[in-house]
């Protein structure tokens, strides 16, 4: 569950900076651009699921290991958290978000110190969204499907435009910009 514990906090940490006004939308886009480039330039995300990478991290520690073998639970987990957040906001017309689910998880599992399973996490996300997020879980938590188009769609739902290109070394470079006219800030 490292992708939940570490990935969600990585994503939410940058989001909180934006929501608190510490960084503006341009600053948040810069933070997300760095995260997206780390994500896109690690072929391990397509070789081992982030759920399996989470388990593997406990076996071999946080050493880099074989390049391209697995993804980062921080990076891949944050990307998945962003996708979940956008899906929840879209399905609830901005009335709920990943933050809503995290508060509910705290009330049910954190405060009483009962512990949390991955199934509990996904069940609460489904409850908050009002619809199953199993497609995200199967494709991007337990699977290794490419996230590019879901990311483009999620950014569009937030009033942002996401494009990518390859640099001279073949590395993915992304551009994340507000659409014209800018949409209201994220929930």
Residue closest to 159 by CA, chosen among 132, 180, 133: 180
CATH level 3 topology of 2-178: Neutral Protease; domain 2 (1.10.390)
The number of beta carbons lying within 10 Å of the beta carbon of residue 91 is 15
Q: Along the chain (187 residues), what's the average pLDDT of each consecutive run of 10 residues?
A: 94 96 96 97 92 76 62 93 98 97 97 94 98 98 97 96 96 92 52
Q: Please report the pLDDT score of residue 55 as a whole number.
A: 80
**Domain segments of the chain as ranges:** 2-178
């Amino acid at each position: 569950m490292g992708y939940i514990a570490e990935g969600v906090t990585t994503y939410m940490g940058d989001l909180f900076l934006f929501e608190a006004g510490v960084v503006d939308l341009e600053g948040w886009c810069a933070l997300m651009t760095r995260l997206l480039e780390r994500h896109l330039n690690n072929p391990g995300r397509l070789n081992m699921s982030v759920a399996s990478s989470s388990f593997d991290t406990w076996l071999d520690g946080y050493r880099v290991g074989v390049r391209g073998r697995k993804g980062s639970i921080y990076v891949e987990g944050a990307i998945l958290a962003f996708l979940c957040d956008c899906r929840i906001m879209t399905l609830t017309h901005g009335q709920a978000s990943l933050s809503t689910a995290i508060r509910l998880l705290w009330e049910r599992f954190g405060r009483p110190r009962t512990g949390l399973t991955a199934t509990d996490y996904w069940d609460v996300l489904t409850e908050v969204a009002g619809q199953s997020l199993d497609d995200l879980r199967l494709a991007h938590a337990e699977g290794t499907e490419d996230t590019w188009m879901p990311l483009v769609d999620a950014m569009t739902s937030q009033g942002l435009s996401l494009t990518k290109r390859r640099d001279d070394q073949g590395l993915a470079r992304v551009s994340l910009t507000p659409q014209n006219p800018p949409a209201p800030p994220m929930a």
